[in-house]
Structure 1
């Protein structure tokens, strides 16, 4: 009865492949512009912008994977491309590995950028000696290597709940890390503003700046959670209640979660 009721009210969400194709193209162009701007402008040749460039490249992997899969499905759907099921399966594994690698690398570089900003604020005078170009290169290479290895492991043992729990744990770790670092940075900025406003006797400036900082922090972490949260909540439900009708209904909106990530 519950399953029947769930089927009655849960219609899922049918998103046309053309929409995925369009979003993938827009996302690809946007990230290409970011990479081109950083590479072309020598003033942006610093560790922070290299990390942002790597973040854009990892997001491009999502777009490329989405474009490849959507084009592949459209060609199969219209009978333009006829391939054997084994080739389709191998193609699906490659695309899944790209998506998984991009997810891990994207979350990793978001965490690296947060750590880099933290060092900039709390160790401003020693920043260039701490975050040298050599250390930045080692950090970027380590993230890409770890993302590639982990994505291969995830795709190989994707049926294991332990693998999904590792991915969920990694997301929660990055979320907590960003929360702690950015809130600490906001608290320091708020303390400095309070000191400046008390010296200048202008409390209005302090309240206005504190409000702007709080809004910026809320938007930054809010967008991160809105984009990534539903996808990882989806993984949590796969582990905890894969056959429950309400969880099954949530699974039917998976395409919407991919759109949020894109």
Structure 2
């Protein structure tokens, strides 16, 4: 029968994984917290403005903007998660209960997964509009709501799994050095899952790029295309370029 260590401290697991756990505030810790809180506040304010603009402006009441608004909500959640981390990091880590430590990590994992899955949903939506040559998808508000619900359900599921069993509290040899209370198998699963979503998103955007390039080539070779058709193609190129630019900024 395996022995579990539910009554041990966070420090016990950090020592087991040989990860440094300081008992005093170093200059590096203070700078990291100060910078982290500043970035968190900026992220919160900017994404609140994005969400407010989408809600207030009727021109943005389309599926793509609802998904972009949900992406802003995921980033908003990430800002809250990172702010929570900043208030529970450094020397404070050793004072955390196991439950609080799991909450801290789950918030970060959930917010990141929500952003990644939402980016894939945006890529699929843009792929649909490009293939049908429509500036805006005809997806109903009900379907968009269901899609957004599924995004958050997936993110919460992946973020909460460790708290409900997929940890190393009963198998110390499985503890990760990166997250000392997490099982290495879970971190591998989480990383591969997000990587697969990124790869799928890259394939979708690559197909969009190839398709649009062919369309633009045909348009330049023929002058018989209707002006409205040309405007639609150009509009789709612009929206895809903006989204890819934002995606590139996130990667940096």
Normalised by the shorter chain, which TM-score bucket?
Answer: 0.5 to 0.7
- Judged with a 3 Å threshold, the aligned counterparts in structure 2 of structure 1 residues 166 and 72 are, in CA distance, closer, same or farther, namely closer
- Judged with a 3 Å threshold, the aligned counterparts in structure 2 of structure 1 residues 193 and 63 are, in CA distance, closer, same or farther, namely same
Query: How far, CA to CA, are the matches of 2:61 and 2:218 in structure 1?
Result: 34
For residues 24-173 of structure 1, the aligned pairs below 5 Å read: 24-73=40-89, 85=95, 88-124=97-133, 128-129=137-138, 131-156=139-164, 157-158=166-167, 159-173=182-196
Structure 1 residue 222, shift from structure 2 partner:
4.3
Uncovered stretches (5+) of structure 2, i.e. residues with no partner: 1-27, 168-181, 224-233
Structure with greater helix percent: 1
Quick check: 1:27–1:60 contact (8 Å CA) kept in 2? yes
- Judged with a 3 Å threshold, the aligned counterparts in structure 2 of structure 1 residues 216 and 146 are, in CA distance, closer, same or farther, namely closer
Uncovered stretches (5+) of structure 1, i.e. residues with no partner: 1-12, 78-82, 201-208, 228-262
CA RMSD, Structure 1 to Structure 2 (Å): 3.2
Quick check: 1:35–1:56 contact (8 Å CA) kept in 2? yes
Deviations 1:103-146 (A, max 9, x none): 111100000000000011112469755x2211111111111112
Structure 1 segments (4+ residues) deviating >3 Å: 71-74, 124-129, 212-224
**Residue 18 (structure 1) aligns with:** 34
Query: How far, CA to CA, are the matches of 1:215 and 1:120 in structure 2?
Result: 14
Query: How far, CA to CA, are the matches of 1:50 and 1:147 in structure 2?
Result: 18
Query: How far, CA to CA, are the matches of 2:242 and 2:64 in structure 1?
Result: 19
Query: How far, CA to CA, are the matches of 1:125 and 1:53 in structure 2?
Result: 20
Query: How far, CA to CA, are the matches of 2:79 and 2:247 in structure 1?
Result: 22
Quick check: 1:182–1:217 contact (8 Å CA) kept in 2? no
Which residue of 199, 202, 219 maps to 1:176? 199
Scaled by the length of structure 2, the TM-score of the pair is 0.67
* Comparing 40-49 and 191-200, the one that deviates more: 191-200
Scaled by the length of structure 1, the TM-score of the pair is 0.64
**What SS does structure 2 have at the residue aligned with 1:16?**
helix
The size of the alignment, in residue pairs, is 196
**What SS does structure 2 have at the residue aligned with 1:56?**
helix
